[in-house]
Amino acid sequence: MGVALIATQYVALYLVTYALWKVLRQAFVKGDLDQLQGPPSESYLKGVFSRVFDPDGWDFHRMMWEKYGPVIKLKGLFGDTVLYTYDPKAMHHILVKDQNVFQPMDTILTSTKYIFGNGLLGTTGNKHRRQRKQLNPVFSTSHMREMVPMFYDISHKLENSLVNQVKNGVKEIDMVFWMGRTALELIGQAGFGHSFDDLSEDYGEHHYSSALKGLVPAASRLSVFRLYFLKPLSKLGPPSFRRKLVKFSPIKALRELLNIVDILHETSLEIYRSKKQALLEGNHKVAEQLSRGKDILSILMKQNMEAPEDEQLDEEEIYGQISSFTFAGMDTTSNALSRTLWLLARNEDVQAKLRNEIRDAMRKAGGDIPYDELISLPYMDAICRETLRLYAPVNIVIRQPTEDIVLPLSRPITLTSGRTTSEIMIRKGTKCIISLVGSNRNTEIWGPDANEWKPERWMQEMKEEIVSAKIPGIYSHLMTFGAGGRACIGFKFSQLEIKAVLAILVSRFEFSMAKEVAWQMTNVVVPVLKGGDPTKPTLPMMVSLAK
């Protein structure tokens, strides 16, 4: 009780001090941001953040796009003024040209580092660049090609389990459950040479998988806490004291998150130490795997041994990649696969056309489709691109400038004062929310049908409006995988996973909807039953053998 009381007093003191500072800052510091158009604040305490970060906030975001355009002022906690944008030039400067100024927020980096350690997600600057440099070889085309047989092997295990369930007729199956298991096994084997799941029906969930599934819901419930309060609280005393504060905290989600982080850390360390020990003991299989570079961890260990001493990563940086890549590769990939199956179930003609394309390619190949043919299937590629455009698994990224900076815009905007401007001054420390989905659905660029799912748009010549917009994303004029030095390093890996799994599933099974679901706008978008438990992701579908 003593620890809990001290923690409560610290939090109360911080809240009072922070609120006072915000009041004074708002009263005396004004800038261009204050003259931007935006939705009115709903309260001084929360601004409009309860709407912006609402899991059911799709309509609110769309209203903002339609009413205010790509450069918007938001009111955050305690009257904080926040930039919300999907303007192409603004995104280019924030994420690419001036990325050294627009850094991930300290509070987000702090929470990410606490969760994942010193991997890519929790580092910045030279350390981040050094890690990316050593990890880049794993995502080369030649290595992607070598991974295809492994992806198919895992996909066929999934296929066998589903066949056993539907061999006697159509059956309702929770596909988000199976996509999550498959995505974890894909990243486990391809990333670290480690199997978490044999994808059998006799299933006992690995504790690492359970922890990963609980991470997003727990972190989402703590979004405001992580955004505003974690950084200062992380400076209270030594780590042992802070751990006690969390352990005895009255906030249940915080205690749950601590348990999840412990499991992620212990499992990552166990995987790393096991591979390292086998190498030290002269395990020929592991030594051969390292020399051939068959997984991310092996490549990183091999690269690290060969790198100059001043460029080598320490052990924490190496095993920090395990949870970082597993989290980044599991939830986003399983979401994209689940969403694609959901769309195919709702568009039977598209599903049938895709099945014919896949089966034709399989007949020509005499079995599984080789890498070059798989990535080139036009209709499958169009479906994947359109799904990743309209339904990006991650909706926003947040940056914060480390100094005052002028931000150019793609086209002039009119401020509330009546003045027209093509640039705005962004003050040091201003939170900048980049709407990835806002860019992907920008009607000025993608046309009046930007909010409709139309795979055919990718089988036509790209419109001039899209090309000339100069969207800074690394993939197909989309912001789905981000941009700049912190863009998703594994975006090609993810696309290959999705296509390999879809090729096996769609060729063998037919999918239709069983129950209505809603897709929640959480850190990573997830489906839940309409009217059901919003904390339990699920996608019930009717599955049968395809004719």
Residue 27 confidence (pLDDT): 46
Asked if residue 8 belongs to a domain, the reply is: no
Lowest mean pLDDT among 31-40, 66-75, 305-314, 480-489: 305-314
Asked if residue 13 belongs to a domain, the reply is: no
Q: Can you tell me whether residue 3 is helix, strand or coil?
A: helix
pLDDT of 366 above 90: yes
Asked if residue 86 belongs to a domain, the reply is: yes
Residue 28 confidence (pLDDT): 47
Closest CA to 101 of 403, 509, 346: 403
Asked if residue 22 belongs to a domain, the reply is: no
Please give the C-alpha separations between residue 126 and each of 130, 305, 310, 314, 486, in angstroms, as whole numbers: 6, 19, 12, 14, 12
Mean pLDDT of the chain: 88
Q: From CA 336, how far away is CA 329, in angstroms rounded?
A: 11
Residue 41 confidence (pLDDT): 95
Residue 29 confidence (pLDDT): 47
Closest CA to 371 of 228, 506, 492: 492
CATH number at residue 385: 1.10.630.10
pLDDT of 317 above 80: yes
Report the domain count for the chain.
1
Full residue range of the structural domain in which residue 325 is found: 31-545
Is residue 320 within 8 Å of residue 118, measured between CB atoms?
A: yes
Q: Tell me: the pLDDT tens digits for 136-170?
A: 877 888 888 888 999 999 999 999 999 999 999 99
pLDDT of 2 above 60: no
DSSP H stretches of helix in 248-377: 252-280, 284-292, 296-306, 315-346, 348-365, 371-376
What integer is the mean pLDDT of 334-345?
97
Asked if residue 396 belongs to a domain, the reply is: yes
Please give the C-alpha separations between residue 236 and each of 18, 60, 122, 230, 261, in angstroms, as whole numbers: 16, 37, 20, 10, 19
- How remote is the C-alpha of 230 from its chain's centroid? 21
Asked if residue 10 belongs to a domain, the reply is: no
Q: Can you tell me whether residue 511 is helix, strand or coil?
A: strand
Asked if residue 365 belongs to a domain, the reply is: yes
Residue 279 confidence (pLDDT): 66
232 by Cβ neighbours in 10 Å (0-12 / 13-18 / 19+) ranks as: middle
Q: From CA 468, how far away is CA 389, in angstroms rounded?
A: 18
Please give the C-alpha separations between residue 536 and each of 112, 334, 392, in angstroms, as whole numbers: 23, 15, 20
- Looking only at the bridges linking them, the beta strands covering 432-435 and 396-401 are antiparallel
Lowest mean pLDDT among 104-108, 360-364, 539-543: 104-108
Closest CA to 88 of 362, 451, 408: 408
Please give the C-alpha separations between residue 254 and each of 121, 220, 268, 447, in angstroms, as whole numbers: 20, 11, 21, 43
Asked if residue 6 belongs to a domain, the reply is: no
Residue 346 confidence (pLDDT): 97
432 a known binding residue? no
For residues 239 and 181, which has the higher predicted lDDT (pLDDT)? Answer: 181
Of these ranges, 11-20, 68-77, 117-126, the one predicted with the greatest mean pLDDT is: 68-77
What integer is the mean pLDDT of 222-236?
73
